[in-house]
C-alpha cells in the first residue's frame, strides 16, 4: 500500500451464540467501491474464535480476480451468486483465532464469508480498514471522513482546495451596535 495510509472505517462484528446469522460469500467492493484495490483490514479478535463459532473463511488468491458481480437489492446485502460461489465449490480456508489475535488481509477483493455461530458464546471482533490516499470512492462525496483522515505519511494528491487568505484590500467590516458602544466608552483592544 505504501507509506501513506488513510483510515477507511472501523466496524464491530458480533455473532450471538447459537444463532448468529451466516454471511454468504462476498467481496467488500460492493459495500464501498473505490477506483483501486489498495485496501487492508486488521481484524482484531476480542473472543476466541474456533471454527464452530462461525469464524472467518476465505478463498486464497481470490483477490486476483478483481471485483466480481454481486447479487444486490433492497432485500439483501451484496453477495456472490451461490450457484457459482459456494463453500462446497471453492477451495476455502477457515481462519480460527484466539482472543487478541489480529488478522491482516484485503477484504476488498478477497472472497470471504462466515457461518452460523454454533457455540454458546458470543463471537466479537473489531475490523479497522485502511486504504491508499490516492484512491477515490465511487458514487460517494469525496469529502466524507473516510477519504480524509491520514493515519501515516501524507495525502499527496489531495483534491481539497488549500485555504489561503490573500487580500488586496481590506474586506468590508460590519460593525455591530455593541462594538460601537464599547468604542464610545473608550475601550481600546490590546495591541
Which CATH number fits the domain that encloses residue 60? 2.60.120.620
Question: Does 35 score more than 90 pLDDT?
Answer: no
In a domain, 13, yes or no: yes
What cell numbers appear for 165 in the block?
Answer: 487568505
Q: How many domains is the chain partitioned into structurally?
A: 1
Whole-angstrom Cα distance, residue 88 to residue 129?
A: 29
**Is-contact 26 129, C-beta < 8 A?**
no
Split at pLDDT 50, 70, 90, the class of 42 is very high
Please list the residues that pair with 112 across neighbouring strands.
26, 58
| 186 Cβ contact list (under 8 Å, min separation 6) | none
Average pLDDT, the chain: 77
In a domain, 30, yes or no: yes
Beta-carbon neighbour count of residue 29 at 10 Å?
Answer: 20
Q: By residue range, what is the domain housing residue 56? A: 5-152
Residue 146: per-residue pLDDT: 55
First to last CA, the chain: 50
Interval 149-170: pLDDT, tens: 777 777 665 544 343 334 344 4
pLDDT: which is higher, 69 or 143: 69
Please report, rounded to a whole number, the percentage of residues in the chain having pLDDT higher than 70. 74
Separation in Å, CA 26 to CA 30, 31, 48, 99, 102: 9, 10, 24, 25, 21
In a domain, 115, yes or no: yes
In a domain, 53, yes or no: yes
In a domain, 185, yes or no: no
Amino acid at each position: 500500500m505504501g507509506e501513506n495510509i488513510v483510515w477507511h472505517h472501523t466496524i464491530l462484528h458480533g455473532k450471538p451464540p447459537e444463532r448468529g446469522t451466516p454471511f454468504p460469500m462476498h467481496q467488500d467492493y460492493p459495500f464501498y467501491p473505490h477506483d483501486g484495490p489498495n485496501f487492508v483490514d486488521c481484524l482484531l479478535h476480542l473472543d476466541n474464535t474456533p471454527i464452530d463459532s462461525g469464524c472467518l473463511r476465505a478463498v486464497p488468491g481470490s483477490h486476483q480476480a478483481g471485483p466480481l458481480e454481486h447479487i444486490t437489492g433492497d432485500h439483501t446485502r451484496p453477495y456472490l451468486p451461490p450457484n457459482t460461489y459456494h463453500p462446497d465449490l471453492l477451495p476455502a480456508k477457515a481462519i480460527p483465532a484466539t482472543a487478541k489475535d489480529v488478522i491482516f488481509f484485503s477484504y476488498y477483493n478477497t472472497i470471504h464469508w462466515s457461518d452460523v455461530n454454533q457455540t454458546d458464546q458470543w463471537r466479537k471482533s473489531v475490523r479497522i480498514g485502511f486504504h491508499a490516499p490516492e484512491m477515490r470512492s465511487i458514487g460517494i462525496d469525496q469529502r466524507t471522513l473516510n477519504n480524509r483522515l491520514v493515519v501515516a505519511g501524507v495525502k499527496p494528491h489531495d483534491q481539497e482546495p488549500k485555504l489561503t487568505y490573500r487580500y488586496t484590500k481590506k474586506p468590508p467590516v460590519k460593525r455591530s451596535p455593541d462594538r460601537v458602544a464599547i468604542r464610545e466608552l473608550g475601550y481600546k483592544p490590546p495591541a
